[in-house]
Chain A
Amino acid sequence: QKEVEQDPGPLSVPEGAIVSLNCTYSNSAFQYFMWYRQYSRKGPELLMYTYSSGNKEDGRFTAQVDKSSKYISLFIRDSQPSDSATYLCAMIRNDYKLSFGAGTTVTVRA
């Protein structure tokens, strides 16, 4: 069993729709939870990070963490074609090593 599970998609939505992404994990040692966005042939860029259960908002992005269920989510409101990318969840232990989900490819149709 992988430490981090993420549905690779692909996911296609019309412009303006809400994009919903999620990951589950099995290791209780994970302390911080991140969402990265990766465009084709580029390095990942950090979108959001959280360290406690609950919601965190940043503009059109909302990250949710439920540690009791070992489940994290990312919501993108009012999606734009420029949001088309691969979104990777990642989790970090206290040794700074990241474990990534498989990444979900999202396409927002104009």
Chain B
Amino acid sequence: GAVVSQHPSWVICKSGTSVKIECRSLDFQATTMFWYRQFPKQSLMLMATSNEGSKATYEQGVEKDKFLINHASLTLSTLTVTSAHPEDSSFYICSAPGAHEQYFGPGTRLTVT
């Protein structure tokens, strides 16, 4: 099946700094990618839709200036958490759609101290 990778898999940063997370589709092109956030023992919550060559669309309640998304190519989307705070600590997962399903990356665990 299709493969989606994420980098880094785990990152610790200090409060106030910014962190970039990469999502790559390894063997297919993705004009659209999705970013999810998952808190412990909770389900995945869609944050935003990343569109290649255009602005991302954000779900209600997600701050677009805090979670910057760039979809610069057909195989790469990046999520930058700006001015991170401890409450941003979470598991961030990206996905890319196939014909009938979503292919998920392995996730990035962000811890903000």
Q: Decide if A88 touches B34 in the complex (CB within 8 Å).
A: no
Q: Which residues of B contact A (CB under 8 A)?
A: 1, 6, 32, 34, 41-46, 49, 91, 93, 95, 97, 100-107, 109
Q: Which residues of A contact B (CB under 8 A)?
A: 6, 8, 32, 34, 36, 41-46, 49, 51, 88, 90, 92, 96-103, 105
Contacts of B93 in A (CB 8 A): 43-44
Contacts of B101 in A (CB 8 A): 32, 34, 46, 49, 92
> How many whole Å from A34's CB to the nearest CB in chain B?
6
Interface centre among B34, B42, B43, B101 (most CB of A within 10 A): B43
Interface centre among B6, B32, B100, B105 (most CB of A within 10 A): B100
Query: A49 with B100: in contact, given A98-B46, A100-B43, A101-B43 (CB under 8 Å)?
Result: yes
